[in-house]
Amino acid sequence: MRILVLGGTVFLGRALARQALQAGHDVVCAARGESGEPVEGAAFVRVDRDRADGLDAIEGAFDAVVDVARHPHHVRHAVGALSGRVAHYTLVSSCSAYADSVTPGQTAATAPLLPPDFDGDPGAGAEEYGRCKVACERLAADGFGADRTFLVRAGMIVGPEDPTYRFEYWVRRALRGGEVLAPGGPDEAVQLVDVRDLADWIIAAGGSGLAGALDGIGAPMRREEFHAGFAEAAGVPQQLTWVAQDFLLDREVAPWSGPRSLPFWLPLPEYAGFLSRDVTASLAAGLRTRPLAETVRDTIEAIRDASHIDAKNGLGIDEEAQLLREWHER
């Protein structure tokens, strides 16, 4: 196939280009070129998606287009520039598009969506980001045709080159070993997908013409299994200490991400549905996911300095130690 990746210079975009090239496809990446470099072997076209004519430099027809846009006007401009010369279009949307984060076991076919915001700012907060993604979905399906548009509602994407540090926090924590502060309880659900598995599925969808909306995330696992995957890959002895969410919230430990946070942890019951989606349909449609320990091992290999702690996401060493002392003294 001749594949156009609108993006292609950061994380999922780079994985898409790399995996497509390895599969023998011809790849063009179109981006501003300010966030990173395209992978070797991909053609690169510099574009400005904020402009209505910003994609005019892209020439020719494509068997498949993959778009990671979150700004509705970027999708609107893509429709204007590419409609009529695209056989299949994939929009990487988000599970943040769903309106109900409380109910476990929801499916892409039945879960309610947030109302779309066609002129919103996806950087204005989690809900606004989701509303903008819903608007992007509507524009894509209307512009390229619902029968030729694949809407992938991605969950937490992990693996090498992840710029968010959320997954890497737990990788580095496993490498240090010892007593590990584990949030919540061992039976709580966690859900994620390796960036390479998601990329492979999206590329295959372009070839098969898969259309409609599906969740791009692996099956839920127990939080105890989640931590076991890190311990297996790191090979360093560790002891999990399960710390109740109310204790963490009372001490201003943030969920999900950010300074003084515990990534991949969300308070219950208000987020019981966010990391427990039913992805039976996605797996039946060809999504294949590798063992967590493999993703952890590959991420370890990509880390140059395992002792580094990124204060932007996660707990610092001293913060975790203090919380564990207070938990044992309670």
Query: Which pLDDT band holds residue 62 (cuts at 50, 70, 90)?
Result: very high
Tokens at 239, concatenated: 């002891």
Query: Which pLDDT band holds residue 303 (cuts at 50, 70, 90)?
Result: confident
Q: What is the pLDDT of residue 92?
A: 98
| Residue 306 confidence (pLDDT) above 70 | no
Residues 6+ apart with CB under 8 A from 235: none
3-class DSSP assignment, residue 242: strand
Q: CA-based diameter of the chain, in Å? A: 67
- Give yes or no for a contact between 79 and 73, defined as CB atoms under 8 angstroms apart: no
- Give yes or no for a contact between 121 and 160, defined as CB atoms under 8 angstroms apart: no
The region of weakest confidence among 39-48, 187-196, 262-271, 307-316 is 307-316
Query: Which pLDDT band holds residue 37 (cuts at 50, 70, 90)?
Result: confident
In Å, how far are 6, 40, 88, 228 from 3, measured between CA atoms? 10, 15, 10, 38
Residue with structure tokens 């372009």? Answer: 206
| Residue 308 confidence (pLDDT) above 70 | no
Q: Give the global pTM.
A: 0.96
Q: What is the pLDDT of residue 309?
A: 61
In Å, how far are 124, 150, 213, 275 from 115, measured between CA atoms? 15, 20, 16, 21
The region of weakest confidence among 54-68, 100-114, 159-173, 214-228 is 159-173
Q: What is the pLDDT of residue 129?
A: 97
Question: How far from the centroid of its chain's Cα atoms is residue 250's Cα?
Answer: 29
For residue range 120-158, list pLDDT tens digits in order: 999 999 999 999 999 999 999 999 999 999 999 999 999
Q: What is the pLDDT of residue 238?
A: 95
Query: Which pLDDT band holds residue 307 (cuts at 50, 70, 90)?
Result: low
Query: Which pLDDT band holds residue 175 (cuts at 50, 70, 90)?
Result: very high
Q: What is the pLDDT of residue 325?
A: 98
